[in-house]
Amino acid sequence: MGTKATAGKTRERILDVSLAMFNDRGEPNVTTNHIADELEISPGNLYYHFRNKDDIVEHLFARYENSIDLAIVPPIDRLPTLEDIWMQLHKAFETMWEYRFIYRDLVDITSRNRKLRMHFARIIKRATANANEVLKGLTTAEIMRASRAEIEATATNIILVATFWMSFNSVRGGQLEKGSEDLTQGIFQVMMIIAPYLRDAERLHLNNLALTYVR
């Protein structure tokens, strides 16, 4: 009792600390010894719980995949509203922020690991399909007007902007990461891709929000 770890505790701590360190410094810059040091456990113990470093990454990714899958479920049995989109984006950006290390070195990580590559491609495909559905729903609900081609291109752009918003933000300089406020701007940027397709009322509404968010 006390400092002694109970079942599964260390395993979870490894994942938690790894996640924090990966998010902080980037996965390629965090070694398994760093992680063990930070946890004050031996490297051997870390390898008792995970086969190798990639195993840790894969488990974190699986966690992420579960979360993001929940975040991008479209409303069932009714047409979507703009509010739904705000909500979905919020949940998605939150989740992505939690696992931002994946996005920081996305190309490198997916090119090194076949499993992650396949799963990430699946997430993108699913997210794009969902975006498409939602846009179609908005059109059916006559909240926006767009051709089929416009909807397709727009869905892709939405996912691209969402996927790389955090990277873009860190890369365009200024302050490094202040978290929530930046995310909100990311959400707003995505909304602004849809904006011009909206009816005047909604478009005006977004325009006013813009004054608050755009940097």
Restricted to residues 106-145, the positions that interact with its own copies (CB under 8 A) are 106-108, 110-112, 117-118, 120-122, 124-125, 128
Restricted to residues 42-101, the positions that interact with its own copies (CB under 8 A) are none
* Cβ contacts of 204 within 8 Å, gap of 6 or more: none
Entry field: residues in the chain: 215
Q: Work out which of 20, 38, 53, 193 binds DNA, going by CB under 7 A.
A: 53
Q: How far is the CB of 113 from DNA (least distance, A)?
A: 11
Torsion-angle region of residue 38: left (phi > 0), alpha (psi -120 to 50) or beta? alpha
**Under 8 Å between Cβ of 163 and 124:** yes
Q: Work out which of 54, 69, 84, 94 binds DNA, going by CB under 7 A.
A: 54
Distance CA 6, CA 12 (A): 11
Burial 114-136 (b: 16+ CB within 10 A, else e): eebeebbeebeebbbebbbebbb
Q: Work out which of 15, 20, 38, 49 binds DNA, going by CB under 7 A.
A: 49
Q: Work out which of 20, 26, 47, 119 binds DNA, going by CB under 7 A.
A: 47
Number of residues counted as binding its own copies (CB under 8 A): 51
Interface residues toward DNA, by CB under 7 A: 1, 4-10, 31-34, 40-45, 47-49, 51-54
